[in-house]
Amino acid sequence: MQNPFEENIGPVRPTFLTILCVLTFLWNAYKFYGAIPSVFTPEKVAASKEQANEMMMDMMSKYLSDKDLEEVEKSQEETNKLFTEKNLVTTGIISIISSVLLILGGIWMWGLRKKGFYVYIAGNALGILAPVFIMGGMIGWSIGIASFINAALFTGLYALHLKYFS
């Protein structure tokens, strides 16, 4: 047992860095867990997406005109082309790899190791570029831009703590 009156000899992790790491662990564990069905049961994921689309159309049919419903149906058809089983498996695998890199980077930054910051950047780059290249179109770009905003925010906040890393 350590004497509570002794000074800490090792480097101390700042509280805000601890909070960032915990948020990184939680979000990427959720992302990892969410990608597993896309990899191992893409047909069920595609079927549940189709069922959700049908439920949405039933609900919207009560409130929209026939012309507006046709536009929504066209939009849904375009979206369904992107969510093929092949795309679901590919994006699921890349999401798992990205999550693992981000968690690994977070673990190393938790231990105040600078290489964790660079692994974290690599995981973010993968998460930003993959949707753009795999899905393309408006959906791929919107996911990529949202990922970029999140990655830029967190990477910037981690960069503020680089002076603590060795």
Take residue 163 and report the two structure tokens written for it: 């002076």
Alpha helix ranges (H) inside the chain: 15-40, 42-61, 66-82, 85-110, 115-134, 137-159
The better pLDDT of the pair 97, 2 is held by 97
d(CA 40, CA 23): 27
Residue 79, pLDDT > 80, answer no
Whether residue 69 contacts residue 56, with contact meaning beta carbons closer than 8 Å, is answered with no
Number of residues in the chain = 166
d(CA 53, CA 131): 21
Residue 10, pLDDT > 70, answer no
Q: Which residues contact 36 (CB under 8 A, 6 or more apart)?
A: 92, 96
Listed residue (103, 121, 119, 94) closest to 30, CA to CA: 103
Q: What is the pTM of this model?
A: 0.79
112-156 pLDDT, tens digit each: 899 999 999 999 999 999 988 888 778 888 889 999 999 999 999
Give first-to-last CA distance, the chain, whole Å: 27
Residue 1, pLDDT > 60, answer no
